[in-house]
Structure 1
Amino acid sequence: MTRHWTPLALAYLVLAIAGLVVTWTFNAIAIAEGNDFIGDLVSSGPAVSSITNDLLVVAIAGSILIIVESRRIGMRFAWLYIVGSAVTAFAFTFPLWLAMRERRLAARRAQSVRHETPPAGTA
């Protein structure tokens, strides 16, 4: 079977890697400085609270999309992306899921083309 790494899947994969590196760079700084991560999110003023709630709503909507779309196209273990976001970052797991979704769709397209093409020598 072909690997199905389309340009779009690769773009999502690059975003996933960037999301992991960027978020964990700041997480490491916060841990090294002994910061109260959750406390900082909710008590550092209206701007931080705004973006925190903004991203929380997006993460919830994205999690619903992950479950619904994964079921629709037959991707297994979709819940791992959501659980993984709690220990890494949604900025990592969501683009990673998008990359795997794109690969799944490319594989389905390739399979569909194979089933539609008549075997050589028959016409």
Structure 2
Amino acid sequence: MTVTRKLLCVAYASIALLALIGTWSHNVAYLPLGFAGANLRFWGDTFANPASRSITVDLFFLSFAVLVWMVLEARRLHMRGVWLYLLFGLLIAISVTVPLFLIHRERVLAVRAPGTPAGRLATGDLIGLALLVLATLAYTATTLVRAPA
């Protein structure tokens, strides 16, 4: 791996660490509610006002676009386990898992032979993307219904 790629990986790791600290320093407030209660309360709190609904929908669609790219890039580079980045993006924070995916990508690019043909999407990747689309659309529809007239 070149020095440039190594430095890029260090930058990505730093971003992931700062994102983890930044998100989970707030998320820990929900942990005493248990898994189900924490999730219900957290997502309910995203409906607090028009600004929170707007930023949440914005982040959902940005995340969706990035996750589609991640799956396609993983397919192109024959990267395994892309669905884990999708899952942990939902459970931990997308701002943590995208930089980790980028580190994985840099490591694959460092050893990949030029001209290697693209791979195919696995069934799990397709199912994960479909579920993500449904969740994003459901949340967006819910915010539109709850939005003031």
Compute the RMSD of aligned alpha carbons: 2.3
Q: Deviations over 1:46-68 (max 9, x none)?
A: 11111101110011111111110
TM-superposed deviation, 1:29: 2.1
Aligned to 1:12: 12
TM-superposed deviation, 1:82: 0.3
- Could you say which structure has the greater relative contact order, defined with CA pairs below 8 angstroms and 6 or more residues apart? 1
Matches within 5 A, 1:17-56: 17-32=17-32, 36-42=41-47, 44-56=48-60
2: CA distance, partners of 1:59 / 1:51: 12
Length, aligned pairs only: 108
Compare CA radii of gyration and give the structure with the larger one. 1
Sequence identity (%): 36
In structure 2, list runs of 5 or more residues that go unmatched: 115-149
Aligned to 1:118: none
For normalisation by structure 1, the TM-score amounts to 0.77
- Residues 4-13 or 16-25, more deviating: 4-13
Aligned AA (2:42): F
Larger helix share, 1 or 2 = 2
For normalisation by structure 2, the TM-score amounts to 0.64
2: CA distance, partners of 1:39 / 1:67: 29
In structure 1, list runs of 5 or more residues that go unmatched: 113-123
Aligned to 2:78: 74
Taking a change above 3 Å as real, the CA distance of residues 3 and 79 of structure 1, as seen in their structure-2 partners, is farther
